[in-house]
Amino acid sequence: MTMAHATLGTLLRALIEQLDSAVAGAYADAGLDYKPRYTPIIRALAKRGPMRMKDIAVGIGVSHSAVSQSIGALVRGQWVELRPGADSRERIVHLTATARARLPLLRRHWAATAMAAASLDDDLGLCLEEVLRNALQALQARPFEARIREARTPRKTAPARPAAARPGGRRPG
């Protein structure tokens, strides 16, 4: 695959597509009806026990809507079940007995995935997870929207260094 002229967004989408499809394929090869996006939810429930959807969303750092959609699929796949909470409107997410029985297999897959990620890190000569965490932290400190606005503002100082002078030689966009 050649992506010589791909921009940052295209490259990020291509990366996640390759990673997710490989992980999903490993689950399918093991006979599991399981998607990579379920992992943070299942891990949170395995570690902390039954939880409200809101608490799962906050704990794993994704939107309530995204968690709700994944929970719906997990219910259909019999990985989790919803039970009433203290408030009749509140639903508590529980791992099913089937999910608990599959945890050892999932943990082996998670370990293999971590080893594959370490192998990629070795090939890259850097820790991809660390780069991504640092990028997210930098964007929290100064969002990309602000960076775009700043880039549009005429400067009286020296212009930003050209893409060819940056590591990787690429401009985001």
What confidence score (pLDDT) does residue 168 get? 58
Among 5-14, 18-27, 95-104, name the one with the lowest average pLDDT. Answer: 5-14
Cβ contact 128:117 at 8 Å: yes
Among 11-15, 119-123, 147-151, 164-168, name the one with the lowest average pLDDT. Answer: 164-168
What confidence score (pLDDT) does residue 63 get? 95
Q: How confident is the model at residue 33 (pLDDT cuts 50, 70, 90)?
A: very high
Helices 97-124 and 8-29 pack at an angle, to 10 degrees, of 130
Instruction: State yes or no: pLDDT of 35 exceeds 90.
Output: yes
What confidence score (pLDDT) does residue 136 get? 95
The 10s digit of each residue's pLDDT in 71-128 is: 999 999 999 999 998 887 889 999 999 999 999 999 999 999 999 999 999 999 999 9
Q: How confident is the model at residue 161 (pLDDT cuts 50, 70, 90)?
A: low
Q: What does the alpha-carbon distance between residue 137 and residue 34 come to, in Å, rounded to a whole number? A: 30
| 84 membership: H or E segment, kind and range | strand 80-84
Where exactly are the structural domains of the chain? 8-151
Fold of 8-151: Arc Repressor Mutant, subunit A (1.10.10)
pTM exceeds 0.85: no
What confidence score (pLDDT) does residue 145 get? 96
Q: What does the alpha-carbon distance between residue 67 and residue 89 come to, in Å, rounded to a whole number? A: 17
